[in-house]
C-alpha cells in the first residue's frame, strides 16, 4: 500500500515538474532548462543527507551513474523525437515504453504477478496512453526514426527506475545525488554545445550569464526541486515494498506522470482536457486502487 502511495505521489510530482519545465522552455531552450533544473535538484537532495543519510558504496555510485546517464539520454532523445514527429503519437509511446521496460525486466527475472495485479497493470498502461494523448496540429508525419527514437527514450526513462531499484537499501540519497550530478554534467555539456552552435550570445550581469525573467527562474527552480523530490519518492517506493511485484507496480505508476502535467495545464493555463484524457485519469485511479488491493 505504501509503495503504491509513494509511486503515485512521485508520478504527480513528476508531472508538476514537467509542467513547470515546459513553461520555462517557452522562453529558454529546453535542454538548458533541463540542465539548470538538474543542478537545482542537488540542493534539496543535499539537504536530505542529514535526515536520511547517504552511503556512497560502490553499488550506490554505480546505480546513480546508471540513472544519470539513462535519464540524460532519455531526455535528449525525447526532445529529438518530438522535433521530428507528431507529439500526439510519440509522447504516449514514450510513456508506454517507460512503463513497460522495468515490467519486462522484472518478468524475465522471474517475478510472478497475480491475476488482479496483471489486470490492474494493463489498465494502468492504457491510462498512460490516454492521459498522454495530446492534440497535435503540426502536421508532422509518423516516421520510423521518430518511433524508434521515442521508444528508446522511453526505455531510458524506464532505466532510471531500474537503476533506483538496483540501489542498495542503505544508500539513502547517495544514489540520487550521484545520478543528479551525472545528469547535470551531461545535460550541461550538451546545453553549452547547443549554445555554441547557435552563435554568439549577449551576456549580461556580473556573472556573464544570460538574464532570465523572474517567472522563468522561479519555474526552473521549482521544476528542479519537484523533480528531485519525485525521484526520492520513486526510490523510496521501490525499497519499502516487500514483494517481487514492487518493481513493475512502481514502474507503471511512475509512468502516470502526465496526469500532473495535464491537470496543472487545465487549472493554470485553462487548457481543456479532452474526454480521452479524462477517461485516462479515471482509469489511472482505478488501476491504482486495484494495485493497492492486489
The tens digit of pLDDT for each residue in 212-243 reads: 888 899 999 999 999 999 999 999 999 886 66
Average pLDDT value for residue range 118-135: 84
CA distance 42 to 40: 5
Residue 131 is predicted with a pLDDT of: 83
The tens digit of pLDDT for each residue in 132-168 reads: 777 665 556 778 888 898 899 999 999 999 999 999 9
3-class secondary structure, 10: helix
Lowest mean pLDDT among 24-28, 33-37, 210-214, 216-220: 210-214
Average pLDDT value for residue range 27-31: 86
Mean pLDDT of all residues belonging to the chain:
86
CA distance 146 to 52: 41
| pLDDT classification of 85: cutoffs 50, 70, 90 | confident
Residue 202 is predicted with a pLDDT of: 53
CA distance 225 to 38: 9
For cell 538538474, what's the residue? 38
Q: What are the residues whose beta carbons fall under 8 Å from the beta carbon of 220, sequence distance 6 or more?
A: 20, 21, 24, 28, 33, 36, 37, 40, 212
Residue 244 is predicted with a pLDDT of: 67
The tens digit of pLDDT for each residue in 43-72 reads: 999 999 998 899 999 999 999 999 999 999
Number of other CB atoms surrounding residue 212 within 10 Å: 17
The candidate with the shortest Cα–Cα distance to 78, out of 63, 98, 58, is: 98
Amino acid at each position: 500500500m505504501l509503495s503504491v502511495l509513494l509511486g503515485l505521489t512521485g508520478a504527480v510530482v513528476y508531472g508538476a515538474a514537467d509542467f513547470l519545465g515546459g513553461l520555462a522552455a517557452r522562453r529558454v531552450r529546453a535542454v538548458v532548462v533541463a540542465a539548470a533544473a538538474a543542478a537545482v535538484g542537488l540542493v534539496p537532495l543535499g539537504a536530505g543527507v542529514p535526515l536520511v543519510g547517504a552511503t556512497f558504496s560502490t553499488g550506490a555510485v554505480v546505480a546513480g551513474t546508471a540513472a544519470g546517464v539513462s535519464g540524460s539520454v532519455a531526455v535528449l532523445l525525447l526532445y529529438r523525437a518530438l522535433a521530428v514527429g507528431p507529439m500526439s503519437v510519440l509522447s504516449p509511446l514514450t510513456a508506454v515504453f517507460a512503463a513497460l521496460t522495468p515490467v519486462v525486466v522484472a518478468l524475465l527475472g522471474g517475478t510472478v504477478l497475480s491475476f488482479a495485479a496483471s489486470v490492474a497493470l494493463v489498465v494502468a498502461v492504457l491510462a498512460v496512453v490516454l492521459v498522454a494523448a495530446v492534440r497535435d496540429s503540426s502536421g508532422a508525419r509518423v516516421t520510423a526514426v521518430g518511433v524508434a527514437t521515442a521508444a528508446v527514450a522511453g526505455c531510458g526513462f524506464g532505466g532510471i527506475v531500474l537503476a533506483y531499484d538496483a540501489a542498495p537499501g542503505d544508500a539513502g540519497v547517495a544514489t540520487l545525488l550521484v545520478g543528479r550530478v551525472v545528469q547535470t554534467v551531461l545535460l550541461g555539456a550538451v546545453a553549452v554545445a547547443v549554445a555554441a552552435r547557435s552563435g554568439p550570445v549577449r551576456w549580461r550581469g556580473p556573472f556573464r550569464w544570460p538574464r532570465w525573467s523572474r517567472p522563468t527562474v522561479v519555474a526552473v527552480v521549482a521544476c528542479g526541486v519537484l523533480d528531485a523530490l519525485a525521484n526520492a519518492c520513486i526510490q523510496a517506493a521501490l525499497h519499502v515494498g516487500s514483494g517481487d511485484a514492487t518493481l513493475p507496480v512502481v514502474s507503471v505508476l511512475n509512468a502516470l506522470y502526465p496526469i500532473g502535467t495535464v491537470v496543472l495545464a487545465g487549472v493554470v493555463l485553462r487548457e481543456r482536457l479532452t474526454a480521452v484524457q479524462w477517461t485516462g485519469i479515471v482509469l489511472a485511479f482505478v488501476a491504482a486502487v486495484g494495485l493497492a488491493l492486489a
